[in-house]
């Protein structure tokens, strides 16, 4: 999955990501740069965080779902896929808080 998501980032299709919010966690800062790696740990690209917000799962917008770049890019598809993911990885509730980030690619090391 890491390789598929990294490819979407490099292609400019995936410009957003989310994760479950944990109280007390340190959030990314706008302007922060992060190296994206493939499944072998090889650097693929560098992204720069453009926006960070904490919002409930059931309030994620269609625009954010589209920017995540996965599946058919609809909100319905995003909700189904992410609900399954969170159910497998720690639990899901419709009002669970998510850290939602938008980013841009600033350097590509290798195309996938």
One digit per residue, the tens of pLDDT, for the chain of length 112 reads 889 999 999 999 999 999 999 999 999 999 999 999 999 999 999 999 999 999 999 999 999 999 999 999 999 999 999 999 999 998 999 999 999 999 999 999 987 7
One of 3.30.200.20, 3.40.50.1950, 3.10.400.10, 3.40.605.10 is the CATH number of 2-108, namely 3.10.400.10
- Three-state secondary structure of the chain: CHHHHHHHHHCCCCCEEEEECCCCCCCCCCCCEEEEECCCCCEEEEEEEEEEEEEEHHHCCHHHHHHHCCCCCCHHHHHHHHHHHHHHCCCCCCCCEEEEEEEEEEEECCCC
pTM of the model: 0.91
């Amino acid at each position: 999955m890491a390789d598929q998501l990294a490819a979407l980032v490099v292609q400019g299709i995936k410009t957003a990501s989310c994760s479950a919010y944990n109280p007390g966690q340190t959030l990314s800062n706008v302007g922060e740069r992060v190296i994206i790696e493939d499944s072998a740990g090889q650097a693929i690209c560098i992204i720069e965080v453009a926006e960070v917000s904490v919002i409930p799962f059931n309030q994620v917008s269609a625009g954010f779902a589209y920017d995540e770049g996965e599946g058919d890019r609809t909100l319905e598809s995003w909700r189904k896929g992410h609900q399954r993911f969170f159910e497998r990885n720690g639990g899901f509730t419709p009002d669970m808080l998510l850290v939602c980030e938008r980013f841009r690619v600033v350097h590509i090391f290798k195309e996938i």
